[in-house]
Structure 1
Amino acid sequence: MAEPEVGLTAKSADFPGEILDGLDRDIRRRGLGVVRLDEPLSNDSFLKLGSSLGTAIPETAPAVQPYVEDGVLLNLRADAGITRDVSLQPFASNPLSLHSEGSGRSLADQPRYIVLMCVEPGDNSASTVLVPMAEVASDTSDEDLRLLRATRYADAPGVPPVVRSQGDHTVFSFRDFQQDPLRWICEADGATQHAVNGALGRLLARMYGARGTSGVLWSRGLLVVIDNTRFFHGRMAGLPRAAARTRHLKRLRIR
C-alpha cells in the first residue's frame, strides 16, 4: 500500500502555528490530515489540538483504564501480544479488521475524528490501514446501497443504518465482525435474508479491495487525523511483543 500524503512537516515547538491551519485545510479537502513533526506533542498540546477539532470522548471502558491519561487520552501500547480478547485488541499485535469507529453506537456517541500520534514506532510497528469510503461507495451497486440504507445492527438499538448520506458524502457505519455473527434488521421493501447477506458480503469485499487504500507506516512524531465519516480504518498484524520493542501511539476520539 502507498503511504498517505504528508500535508505538512513542522516542529512540535511551533504548535499551534501553521499545524492547526494545515490540518484543517487537509481534513476539509480529503478527510485526512497528516503532519510529520520532529517530536511528539506534549500531552497538553495534544489535548489542545483535539479541542480545536471538537470535544474529546472520555475513555470509560474498565479494561483500558491503565492506558488512559486525563480521562480522554488513550495510550495505545502494543503490549498485549496476540489475544482474542476484544477489549485488549487496541493493545494487541493482532490485525484489526476494517471498521468505522463506534459503529455500534448512536450517531451522537460516534466520533467524528480519530487523532493518532506516534511516540514510539517499535520494531513491531504495524501499518494503520485507511480505506476511503467514497471509493467503496462508487463501486457499490444502487440496489446494494438501497438495501444497506435500510439495514442496521439488530442488537444495538439507536444505531444508524449501515449506509447514510451526510452532505455530499456517502457514509458507512459498519465493521467487519470476522468470526463473530452479525445480527441485522432490514426495513427495505422486498428485502430477503439472501439479498441482504449478499449485499453485506459484497460490501466487505469492496472494503478490502478498494482503490485508494493507504497504509500509515508509523515514525516518531507522525500525527494523523482521520475523518470517521470518510474513511474506514484497521491495522496490519505486528510482531509478538516478545520479539520487538513496543509500539506506542496516543489517541483521541473527537465528536
Structure 2
Amino acid sequence: MTEHVVILDSPELAAARSRVLAPGHRYPFPSVPRRTSPAQALAELVPAASADGVAAVRLDSPLRPEEFLTLGEALGDPVFETAPAVRQRVTAGRILNLVTDTPDTPDIDQQPFAAGWLLVHSESSARPLTRQPRYLLFQCLFAAASPADAQTIVIPFDRVADRLDPADLTTLTRLRYRGARHPLARVEEGRTVFSFRDPGPHPLVLDADPGVTAQEVRAAVTALCAAVHHTETVSAVPWQPGLLVLLDNHRAFHGRTRSSTQATGRHLQRLRIVTHANRHPTPQTDRETRSIR
C-alpha cells in the first residue's frame, strides 16, 4: 500500500458543489409519494429504493417513536447513536432527531444540525463494511418553512458510475481510506457500490494498491467528485409531515443543500439500519466518535 494525500480544491469542483448544494434550486423526486398505511409501508418502500436508491410514502401522521423503531427493526438492526456529540438529540437510543438549529460549522459532528450544506456522501463510508448501514429510514415530523431550504438530495450510484471513465472506475476499486480494508468502489450483484464522502477542500488521505500512481489517484478521485455534482442526476425528498423515506446506502449518495436561515423549522427522525447479514455491535462495544461518517 502507498499513502496518497489528495486535496480537491480546484475552482471547477468548488463551482460544481455550489451549483448542486446552494439554496434556491428545487430538485424533482423520482415519483409522487403514495398514501399508505404503516403495515404496507415497507412492501412499497424496499422495491422502489432498490430501483432508484430512494423511495417515499405518505402516512396519515408521523409514527410514534416505538412504531418508527419497530418499522426499522423489520429491515434489520437499527444502529445505536452513541456519539457524545449527538447523544442529546437521540430518542430511544437509536432515533436521531435532525433539527436545523446551529450556524454553519466545519465540525462534521454538528453539520447534520447546521444551516450549511451537508457534503454528498454514502453513510459511514470510512467504517468497515459490516458497520456501514444498508438502509437509512427517515420520517418527517415538521417540514421546512421554505421547500428550497435544507433539501435532502439523493444521487444514484448507477448514474455516477456511468459518468466515469472505466480506467478511473478501476482505479477507485484499488483505493481505500487510510487504514481501511474496503475500496472506495466495489461491485455487488453486478452494480457499482461506492463508500465515499466528498471531502470538500480538506485533505483526503488514501491508501493505493501497488502500481497505482499518484496521477491516477488524483485523476480518479477528481473524476468521482465531478461525476457526483451534476444537477441533472440529483433528486430531492419532498418533505411533509408523515412522509416516510427509505434510502438504500448501497444504491445512492445523499447530502443536503444549504439553508437560507439557521432555523428552518424542519424536524426529521432517522434510523441507520444494518441488515441482518451484517449485524451491528451493541452499545457496550460500539464506541462511535462520528455521527455521519
**TM-score, normalising length from structure 2?**
0.80
Deviation at 1:82, TM superposition (A): 1.9
Confirm or deny: 8 A CA contact 1:104 1:159 kept in the other structure.
no
Deviation at 1:210, TM superposition (A): 6.4
Match of 2:35 among 4, 9, 20: 9
Matched, 1:100 2:119: no
Alignment CA distance shift 1:7-1:26 (3 Å): farther
Match of 1:25 among 47, 55, 60: 47
1:168-210 Cα deviation digits (max 9, x unpaired): 2100100111121001111053x21112101100110000016
Letter in 2 for 1:182: L
Matched, 1:127 2:151: yes
Confirm or deny: 8 A CA contact 2:50 2:251 kept in the other structure.
no
Residues of 2 paired with 1:150 and 1:40: CA distance?
A: 43
Matched, 1:219 2:216: no
SS at match of 1:224: strand
Matched, 1:229 2:250: yes
Residues of 2 paired with 1:145 and 1:252: CA distance?
A: 31
Which residue number in structure 1 is paired with residue 269 of structure 2?
250
Matched, 1:167 2:167: no
Confirm or deny: 8 A CA contact 2:104 2:116 kept in the other structure.
yes
Deviation at 1:229, TM superposition (A): 0.8
Letter in 2 for 1:147: T
Which residue number in structure 2 is paired with residue 40 of structure 1?
62
Residues of 1 paired with 2:113 and 2:181: CA distance?
A: 26
Residues of 2 paired with 1:169 and 1:8: CA distance?
A: 28
Identity, in percent, stands at 39
Residues of 2 paired with 1:208 and 1:28: CA distance?
A: 22
- 1:72-221 to 2 correspondence within 5 Å? 72-123=94-145, 125-154=149-178, 157-187=179-209, 189=211, 191-209=212-230, 211-221=232-242
Residues of 1 paired with 2:29 and 2:43: CA distance?
A: 22
Deviation at 1:29, TM superposition (A): 3.4
Confirm or deny: 8 A CA contact 1:128 1:235 kept in the other structure.
yes
Residues of 2 paired with 1:27 and 1:192: CA distance?
A: 37
Residues of 2 paired with 1:5 and 1:188: CA distance?
A: 44
Alignment CA distance shift 1:29-1:198 (3 Å): closer
What is the root-mean-square deviation in Å for CA atoms of aligned residues? 1.6
Residues of 1 paired with 2:99 and 2:181: CA distance?
A: 30
Residues of 2 paired with 1:245 and 1:196: CA distance?
A: 39
Deviation at 1:78, TM superposition (A): 0.7
Confirm or deny: 8 A CA contact 1:98 1:175 kept in the other structure.
yes
Deviation at 1:245, TM superposition (A): 4.6
SS at match of 2:268: strand
